[in-house]
């Protein structure tokens, strides 16, 4: 079911997200800088994923779209591009398909050095919280000491960006290069399998996946709740008609899951 309290933001109405300046490398022993973790090579067949994701991943990698994406990323790495995150499939390693009870869809990884850790909206421990992540915690009534969402992933929240790599300082630089074919397949797999499951779709980009989720979940008889609000970016978080801040969406999601026997996820 799609929650009527949070109508879909009209296509194109989501503002662009503010850019982040590349973060300074952390000092290492003796004060010398340590380079931020980055993707070293295109080797998706050896990147860790939970076993129940492997067939979907391998089918994509073997496809013409997957091969073209690999060629593109290999060429960018050879040209010296700095690509984040170091583990593009980390969400699939930490959150097996069988454990998914909630999905948060992002757009692409943070493009500042040291920020992205392979989970949508999450940043590595010790990294300053980006504005959107601060608003996520604000809506939850939390003031965490750090912004890593690894615990969410381990509890069954699939933190999935629709594009899984990005180049330093260049937002959306790997969008429309082929990742979307894989992430659509992953979303479809969740909708066909996970039950009950809550889908958080924030902003027009994520909300474009609502029809795929609803159609697939209904066809397979799955229990689902789609929650749609504005993106948590400060540019849209408090704007109508579906503001992120004050939506009560996390409380609602917990209540909906609890009524179906699932607790402690989100």
Q: How confident is the model at residue 32 (pLDDT cuts 50, 70, 90)?
A: very low
Element (H, E) at 90: helix 90-94
**What pLDDT does residue 24 have?**
39
* Angle (deg, nearest 10), helices 131-140 and 249-258: 60
* Per-residue model confidence as pLDDT tens digits over 211-247: 999 999 999 999 999 999 999 999 999 999 999 999 9
Check if 108 is active-site: yes
Q: Which of 147, 173, 43, 154 is nearest to 92 (CA)?
A: 154
* Angle (deg, nearest 10), helices 64-78 and 54-62: 80
Asked whether residue 27 carries a pLDDT value surpassing 50, the answer given is no
**What pLDDT does residue 86 have?**
96
Q: What is the mean pLDDT of residues 114-131?
A: 95
| Whether the model pTM is above 0.75 | yes
Asked whether residue 5 carries a pLDDT value surpassing 50, the answer given is no
Tally the residues of the chain: 266
Chain mean pLDDT for the chain: 89
% of the chain at pLDDT higher than 70: 86
Contact 183, 177 (CB under 8 A): no
DSSP-derived secondary structure letter, 147: -
The rounded radius of gyration (Å) of the Cα atoms in the chain is 18
Q: What is the mean pLDDT of residues 78-83?
A: 98
* Residues sharing a CB contact under 8 Å with residue 176, sequence separation 6 or more, in sequence order: none
* Tokens encoding 44: 């998706």
Catalytic residue among 43, 52, 58, 108: 108
Asked whether residue 19 carries a pLDDT value surpassing 60, the answer given is no
Q: How confident is the model at residue 25 (pLDDT cuts 50, 70, 90)?
A: very low
Q: What is the mean pLDDT of residues 97-122?
A: 96
Q: What's the maximum distance between 2 C-alpha atoms anywhere in the chain? A: 60
| Residue 69 to residue 180: CA distance in whole angstroms | 10
């Amino acid at each position: 079911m799609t929650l009527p309290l949070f109508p879909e933001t009209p296509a194109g109405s989501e503002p662009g997200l503010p850019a982040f300046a590349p973060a300074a490398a952390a000092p290492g022993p003796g004060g010398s800088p340590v380079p931020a973790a980055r993707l070293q090579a295109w080797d998706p067949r050896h990147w860790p994923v939970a076993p129940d994701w492997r067939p979907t991943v391998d089918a994509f990698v073997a496809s013409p779209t997957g091969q073209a994406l690999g060629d593109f990323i290999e060429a960018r790495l050879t040209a010296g591009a700095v690509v984040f995150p170091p583990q593009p499939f980390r969400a699939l390693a930490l959150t097996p398909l069988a454990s998914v009870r909630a999905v948060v869809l992002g757009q692409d990884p943070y493009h500042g050095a040291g920020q992205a850790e392979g989970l949508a909206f999450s940043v590595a421990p010790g990294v300053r919280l980006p504005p959107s992540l601060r608003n996520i915690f604000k809506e939850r009534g939390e003031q965490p000491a750090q912004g890593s969402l690894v615990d969410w992933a381990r509890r069954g929240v699939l933190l999935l960006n629709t594009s899984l790599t990005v180049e330093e300082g260049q937002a959306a630089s790997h969008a429309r290069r082929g990742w979307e074919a894989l992430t659509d397949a992953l979303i479809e797999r969740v909708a066909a399998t996970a039950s009950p499951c809550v889908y958080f779709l924030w902003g027009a980009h994520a909300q474009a996946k609502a029809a795929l989720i609803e159609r697939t979940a209904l066809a397979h008889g799955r229990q689902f709740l789609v929650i749609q609000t504005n993106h948590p970016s400060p540019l849209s978080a408090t704007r109508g008609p579906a503001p992120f801040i004050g939506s009560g969406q996390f409380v609602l999601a917990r209540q909906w899951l609890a009524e179906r026997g699932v607790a402690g996820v989100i």
